[in-house]
């Protein structure tokens, strides 16, 4: 089996081929650091976190590069608003980004280049383009000659004429052609600037990725990723710059993930409908967010809602409950005959293969989650059949399955906590959130326990209803009564 990945460039799923055997060179567009990250950024980070982990799980060496855009119009504007310097603002939000990413538990990329630390590389690339007649200087700015690149539009499936028909291209007297885009901008007074052959200025947005990916990977690399909104113009322009300069193919596979929407609309600051990662994590465990994000294929839109998050939380708890039940199993006896039907043990043993098949198909995490639930169902079924002194062989199979489940779910960053701890913490979080009085509950339960011993069912049920009205749900088990907070 080979991994198939959807390639935006060809609009097809293609078998993964790497330039170097078993080595994937992956570049992902990171954030422009001028504000807190929202769930859309979380989706991007988590999608590529999963992809990197999965490729490594499948035996690839992955070199993962993700940049920071730390100089940009928005940064300059925001810094002025906040009466600080662009450098300070950008650094601050890079720090906030790390805070969020660490909370989400994402892997650090192997390299995290910043635009401001690669100005010479950008100047060199621009110089090469000018030397080839593919860029020109005008009034301290440098522009790319779009018409010098006949394949312009091949990624976003557009052509220059059609786009000119749209009237939204700003008129700029400096440009020779309205679609020409800026590689280097002359700085205005008070703006950050770097010396260049064209005078003091700063880089255009697109050039940084071309220059930095070339630094780490050379002229051609395997996978370039980002959000679907980057396809045009950002990635289209990167292709024009890089292929224009090198004459080589820039990227083999383009991977673009879908948006997070709220009430089916794209999150955007102008609509005021965006939620930051820390907003979400204040209310939900990071794994709940991950579970929610991976419940839909990465290229599809994903609609955020409270109820969807609740479903995700319920689903994740179901997985953890199962793991916790297996963890609680006794060692088992060699004298007890095994109960596990061959069909069932075969199904459990197939989990890994089924998971790989789903994930090899363009990282189908939604299908993979379905396989987790299938597995949980099988495990629970067997658990419910197990006698007090189960067969050692059955226990071994269940423990092995639980371990596999944790390993595979770990690729999505799920089931990474100790199950009992997770469930206990979750209950604690709910208690804290709802202001439940634990000693009062314990007292009522003790009273109910006494009532039950006396077979005073009326009083016993009265207490249960009383607790339920406070959102406390109880479970009578062999080892006593436990309780959880609903919701």
Partner RNA sequence: GGCGGCGUAGCCAAGUGGCCAAGGCAGUGGUCUGCAAAACCAUUAUUCAUCGGUUCGACUCCGAUCGCCGCCUCCA
Return the residues of window 376-415 that contact RNA according to CB under 7 A: 376-377, 380-381, 383-384
Minimum distance from residue 246 beta carbon to RNA (Å): 23
Residue window 273-312: x/- pattern of binding to RNA, with contact defined by CB under 7 A: -x--------------------xxx--xxxx---xx-xx-
DSSP class of residue 276?
A: B
Mark the segment that binds RNA (CB under 7 A) among 54-62, 131-139, 230-238, 431-439. 230-238
User: CB neighbours of 395 closer than 8 A, spacing ≥ 6?
Assistant: 329, 330, 331, 332
Mark the segment that binds RNA (CB under 7 A) among 50-58, 116-124, 126-134, 150-158. 150-158
Q: Between residues 218 and 280, which has the closer beta carbon with respect to RNA?
A: 280
For residue 385, the surrounding DSSP H or E stretch is helix 365-385
Minimum distance from residue 116 beta carbon to RNA (Å): 16
The reply on whether position 485 binds RNA by CB under 7 A is: no
Cα angle 229-231-233, degrees, rounded to a multiple of 5: 95
Nearest-angstrom CA–CA distance, 249 and 236: 13
Minimum distance from residue 8 beta carbon to RNA (Å): 8
Minimum distance from residue 33 beta carbon to RNA (Å): 10
User: Could you tell me which of 411, 426, 468, 428 has the C-alpha nearest to residue 445?
Assistant: 468
62-121: contacts with RNA (CB under 7 A): 74
User: Could you tell me which of 212, 215, 197 has the C-alpha nearest to residue 123?
Assistant: 197
Q: Are 473 and 481 in contact (CB under 8 A)?
A: no
Q: Between residues 266 and 392, which has the closer beta carbon with respect to RNA?
A: 266
Residue of 147, 410, 442, 457 that binds RNA (CB under 7 A): 457
200-219: contacts with RNA (CB under 7 A): 205
Minimum distance from residue 142 beta carbon to RNA (Å): 16
Residue of 226, 286, 332, 390 that binds RNA (CB under 7 A): 226
Q: Between residues 99 and 310, which has the closer beta carbon with respect to RNA?
A: 310
Q: Are 181 and 237 in contact (CB under 8 A)?
A: yes
For 249, the token pair is 């193919």
For 212, the token pair is 């930095």
User: Could you tell me which of 149, 329, 327 has the C-alpha nearest to residue 242?
Assistant: 149
Mark the segment that binds RNA (CB under 7 A) among 96-104, 192-200, 434-442, 469-477. 469-477
- The count of other CB atoms within 10 Å of the CB of residue 339 is 14
Q: Are 274 and 40 in contact (CB under 8 A)?
A: yes
Minimum distance from residue 335 beta carbon to RNA (Å): 25
Minimum distance from residue 449 beta carbon to RNA (Å): 10
The single residue listed with the structure tokens 């289209």 is 236
Residue of 247, 439, 453, 475 that binds RNA (CB under 7 A): 475
Nearest-angstrom CA–CA distance, 164 and 178: 8
Nearest-angstrom CA–CA distance, 110 and 420: 33
Q: Between residues 165 and 282, which has the closer beta carbon with respect to RNA?
A: 165
Q: Between residues 219 and 406, which has the closer beta carbon with respect to RNA?
A: 406
Residue of 16, 18, 26, 43 that binds RNA (CB under 7 A): 43
The reply on whether position 6 binds RNA by CB under 7 A is: no
Nearest-angstrom CA–CA distance, 121 and 427: 53
Q: Between residues 173 and 335, which has the closer beta carbon with respect to RNA?
A: 173
Cα 477 from chain centre? 39
Nearest-angstrom CA–CA distance, 174 and 176: 7
Residue of 115, 125, 186, 231 that binds RNA (CB under 7 A): 231
The reply on whether position 476 binds RNA by CB under 7 A is: yes
DSSP class of residue 331?
A: -
434-453: contacts with RNA (CB under 7 A): 452
């Amino acid at each position: 089996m080979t991994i198939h990945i959807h390639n935006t460039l060809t609009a097809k799923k293609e078998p993964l081929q790497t330039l170097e055997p078993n080595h994937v060179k992956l570049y992902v567009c990171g954030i422009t650091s001028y504000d807190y990250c929202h769930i859309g950024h979380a989706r991007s980070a988590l999608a590529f976190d999963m992809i990197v982990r999965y490729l490594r799980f499948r035996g690839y060496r992955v070199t993962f590069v993700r940049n920071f855009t730390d100089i940009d119009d928005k940064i300059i504007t925001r810094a002025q608003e906040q009466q600080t310097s662009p450098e300070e603002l950008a650094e601050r939000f890079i720090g906030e980004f790390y805070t969020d990413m660490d909370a989400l538990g994402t892997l650090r990329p192997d390299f995290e280049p910043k635009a401001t630390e690669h100005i010479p590389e950008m100047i060199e690339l621009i110089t090469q383009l000018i030397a080839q007649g593919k860029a020109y200087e005008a009034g301290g700015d440098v522009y790319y000659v779009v018409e010098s690149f006949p394949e312009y539009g091949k990624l976003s499936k557009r052509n220059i004429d059609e786009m000119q028909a749209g009237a939204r291209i700003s008129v700029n007297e400096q440009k020779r052609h309205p679609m020409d885009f800026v590689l280097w901008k002359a700085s205005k007074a008070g703006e950050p600037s770097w010396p260049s052959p064209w005078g003091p200025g700063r880089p255009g947005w697109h050039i940084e990725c071309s220059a930095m990916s070339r630094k780490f990977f050379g002229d051609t690399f395997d996978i370039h990723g980002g959000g679907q909104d980057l396809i045009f113009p950002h990635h289209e322009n990167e292709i024009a710059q890089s292929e224009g300069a090198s004459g080589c193919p820039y990227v083999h596979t383009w991977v673009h993930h879908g948006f997070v929407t709220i009430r089916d609309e794209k999150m955007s600051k102008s609509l005021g409908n965006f939620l930051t990662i820390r907003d979400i994590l204040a209310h939900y465990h990071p794994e709940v967010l991950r579970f929610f994000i991976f419940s839909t294929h990465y290229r599809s839109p994903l609609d955020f809602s409270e109820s969807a998050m609740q479903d995700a939380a319920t689903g994740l708890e179901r997985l953890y409950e199962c793991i916790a039940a297996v963890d609680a199993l006794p060692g088992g006896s060699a004298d007890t005959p095994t109960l596990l039907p061959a069909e069932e043990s075969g199904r459990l043993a197939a989990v890994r293969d089924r998971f790989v098949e789903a994930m090899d198909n363009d990282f189908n995490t939604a299908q993979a989650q379905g396989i987790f639930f299938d597995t949980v169902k099988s495990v629970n079924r067997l658990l419910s059949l197990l006698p007090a002194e189960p067969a050692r062989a059955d226990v071994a199979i269940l423990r092995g399955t639980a371990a596999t489940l944790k390993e595979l779910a770990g690729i999505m960053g799920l089931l990474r906590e100790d199950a009992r701890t997770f469930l206990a913490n979750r209950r604690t979080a709910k208690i804290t959130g709802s202001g439940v009085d634990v000693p009062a509950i314990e007292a009522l339960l003790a009273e109910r326990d006494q009532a039950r011993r006396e077979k005073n069912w009326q009083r016993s049920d009265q207490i249960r209803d009383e607790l339920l009205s406070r959102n406390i749900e109880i479970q009578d088990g062999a080892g006593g009564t436990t309780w959880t907070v609903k919701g």
